[in-house]
Amino acid sequence: MHTKRVIPCLDIKDGRVVKGVQFVNLKDAGEPAQAAQAYDREGADEVVFLDITASADNRSTQLQWVRQVASRLFIPFTVGGGIRTVEDFRLILREGADKIAVNSAAITNPGLISQAADKFGSQCVVVAIDAKKRADGSGWNIYKNGGRVDMGIDAVQWAVQAEKLGAGELLLTSMDCDGTKEGYDLELTKAVTDAVGIPVIASGGAGKPEHFYEALERGGAEAVLAASLFHYKELTIRQVKEYLRQRGISVRL
């Protein structure tokens, strides 16, 4: 049985951890390196660090933030935001990241996925997908620049293409559910996990332990990601893992 992962996400803006609802109304939630270290001690399987305004601001991820966080961690560490080139991958991996998440640049230049996978291995390449249900309910479109720009591309089709290009993992965020604490978008998660053979991290909407279980069991995700729940201590990673184990999910305690 695959061991499932529980992953806290640090959304970074101006050097601080922030969290909002449906990608807006951001509130401060602390200092990145301290938060990452606390999650490591709590039993997180990985930490994801997303510089959420880098692409919209047309700049690279701040390397000093990556360095500070990496110095405090003994678990895998994924970094995303503002990554446009294979050289950006190299610089961030050199600062201590284990995996790189790309979203906007991969949409604009899909060849980046293949180039990075060829150079560093597929296991390093995470394609982040921000998806929102179309108004007619027929499926989901992907968005870039931190959820600001609708690309008019179907999310499931893009997931399949990303896998073919060499992505080793998908970080799938439901923009509709993000920050609502009403549960992950199980329909979206299942549609993507059914279509690809690589691990999918479900993101957006966790509010209680049952939601994590549903995303893993009914959604087919390999990992579950949350932010505000953990940042504001409404649930601990340990509590989520103990609940999952009680429900028969294999987790690392």
As annotated, the active-site residues are 11, 130
At 128, give phi and psi (nearest 5°): -90, 130
- Residue closest to 70 by CA, chosen among 88, 47, 41, 50: 47
Query: Position 211: which residue type?
Result: H
Listed in sequence order, the residues at least 6 apart from 24 whose beta carbon sits closer than 8 Å to its beta carbon are none
Q: Which residues pair with 136 in a beta bridge?
A: none
Q: Which two tokens stand for residue 32?
A: 């990145």
Strand 47-51 and strand 77-80: the pairing is: parallel
CA neighbor of 119 nearest in space, from 85, 72, 155: 85
